[in-house]
Amino acid sequence: MMHFDWPWMALLLPLPWLLARWLPTAQPQGAALFVPFAGRVAGDAGTFVHQAPRWRTVLLAVVWALLVAAAMRPQWLGEPQPVPTSGRRVLLAVDVSGSMAAKDMAGGYTRLQVVQKVAGDFIERRTGDQVGLILFGSRPYLQAPLTGDVGTVKRFLYESMVGIAGRETAIGDAIGLALKRLRENAGTDPADAAGQTVLILLTDGSSNAGVMPPRQAARLAADAGLRIYTIGVGAASGQGLFGLGPGNTDLDEDTLRAIAETTGGEYFRATDARDLQKVYARIDALEPSSGHDQWYRPRTERYDWPLGLALLLSVPGVLFGGRRWH
């Protein structure tokens, strides 16, 4: 579509008419030449009169309008284009071990289902960021690499199932996989990629599987500049569903707290769905998203069109002046 960047220049359109109306007519200066036989010459040869024909007046008006149009900076606006953003990179590591099937955080829902709802809303709010998803049990799996398509990451989280990665919990290996993926994305500068990325690790148990110890993995993450927020979920001991059942007796809070402190993050405890919502809201405040996607419309200057046409139309106005003999 066509757009005028300086539309206020249209106020110049009536300027020639105002000047002709309000400025005084120019008077001849100096002494006049007296010719006694001027009347006879006029009678024989006619009178020289400078009078602009109507077509020339209209032509000059069109030329002026084109000059004003050029001064208004006409621009052609192209289709909106997305602007690449350098938002935060957020990796979510979600425990899908066998204990995530417990129903002690909300009536009738498993721990994983509660996490899927609350963490899914968190993912949806990360507009403008790159989000990735790691699912871990006995082994960690990269379910979704870092991407700006948060809708797809949310769908992958909703499709996860308890036990899909094994029944045990390998916290250290999940951190190790996150570091490996960051190094692959960064190429020759892994520290730069990790320094711009945060890992949110959620689990309901202690690390009882895998190769790498969690605290050692935390030290490697700290060396790479990766900040880790840890979340322990599940009802506290003796606070199972409706006050019945043992609740979460396997959670290793000391290790989760040590991981967060080593990497410069924080540890959070969530015993029900409301607690978990507060946790993700807190992380949102600590690591605010980049906001909505940015767009721009390419602009092409088109002032040369009216300017060139004005120049072309001014040629006959100059060559064919307004002189007439009567």
In DSSP notation, 18-61 reads: HHHHHSPPP---SPPPP-TTHHHHHHHH--EEE---HHHHHHHH
**pLDDT higher at 188 or 72:** 72
Closest alpha carbon to 270 in 228, 230, 229, 232: 232
Q: The domain that contains 274 carries what CATH number?
A: 3.40.50.410
3-state secondary structure of 113: helix
Q: Any residues with CB less than 8 A from the CB of 193 and at least 6 apart, and which?
A: 89, 182, 183, 185, 186
pLDDT bin (cut points 50, 70, 90) of residue 156 is very high
> What per-residue confidence (pLDDT) applies to 190?
44
Same domain, 261 and 210: yes
The residue among 146, 104, 144 whose CA lies nearest residue 113 is: 104
Model pTM score: 0.62
Tell me what pLDDT residue 241 has: 45
More confident residue, 120 or 29: 120
Paired tokens of 161: 């199932």
Residue 266 per-residue DSSP state: -
Q: Assess whether 173 and 302 both reside in one domain.
A: no
Q: Are 253 and 218 in contact (CB under 8 A)?
A: no
Are residues 210 and 240 part of one domain?
A: yes
What pLDDT shows up at residue 262?
95
Confidence band for 37, pLDDT divided at 50, 70 and 90: very low
To which residue do tokens 């046409």 refer?
A: 309
pLDDT above 90 covers what percent of the chain?
41
Closest by alpha carbon to 92, among 55, 129, 43? 129
Q: Does 127 lie in the same domain as 73?
A: no
In a domain, 19, yes or no: no
**Is 125 contained in some domain?**
yes
In a domain, 238, yes or no: yes
Average pLDDT value for the chain: 81
The pLDDT of 88-96, averaged and rounded, is: 92
Q: Are residues 316 and 246 in the same domain?
A: no
pLDDT tens for each residue of 228-276: 999 999 877 555 444 444 455 678 999 999 999 999 999 999 999 899 9
Do 71 and 215 have their domain in common? no
Same-domain pairing of 92 and 75: no
Q: Are residues 150 and 72 in the same domain?
A: no
- Evaluate whether 326 touches 51 at the Cβ level (below 8 Å): no
Least confident of 104-108, 186-190, 319-323: 186-190
| Residues 200 and 91 sit within 8 Å (Cβ to Cβ) | yes
- 71 occurs within a structural domain: yes
- What's the number of domains the chain is made of? 2
Residue 263 lies in a domain: yes
Strand 130-136 and strand 89-95: the pairing is parallel
Q: Are residues 75 and 117 in the same domain?
A: no
Distances (CA, A) of 210 to 101, 165, 172, 214, 299: 21, 12, 7, 9, 56
- Same domain? For 130 and 157 the reply is yes
DSSP sequence for 205-249: S---SSSS-HHHHHHHHHHHT-EEEEEEESPPTT--GGG-S----
Tell me the H-state helices in the chain: 15-22, 38-45, 54-71, 111-125, 150-159, 171-186, 190-195, 214-224, 253-263, 273-286, 304-319
User: What is the pLDDT, as a whole number, of residue 35?
Assistant: 47
Domain-embedded: residue 178: yes
Residues 109 and 138 in one domain: yes
174 occurs within a structural domain: yes
Q: Is residue 243 part of a domain?
A: yes
pLDDT number for residue 291:
55
What is the span of the domain harbouring residue 139? Answer: 86-286
Residues 182 and 49 in one domain: no
Integer angstrom CA distances of residue 303 from 2, 74, 106: 11, 5, 65
Q: Which residues are CB-contacts of 326 (< 8 A; sequence separation ≥ 6)?
A: 46, 47, 49
Task: Specify the residue for token string 């899908």.
Answer: 96
Query: What are the beta bridge partners of residue 199?
Result: 91, 228
pLDDT of residue 79: 79
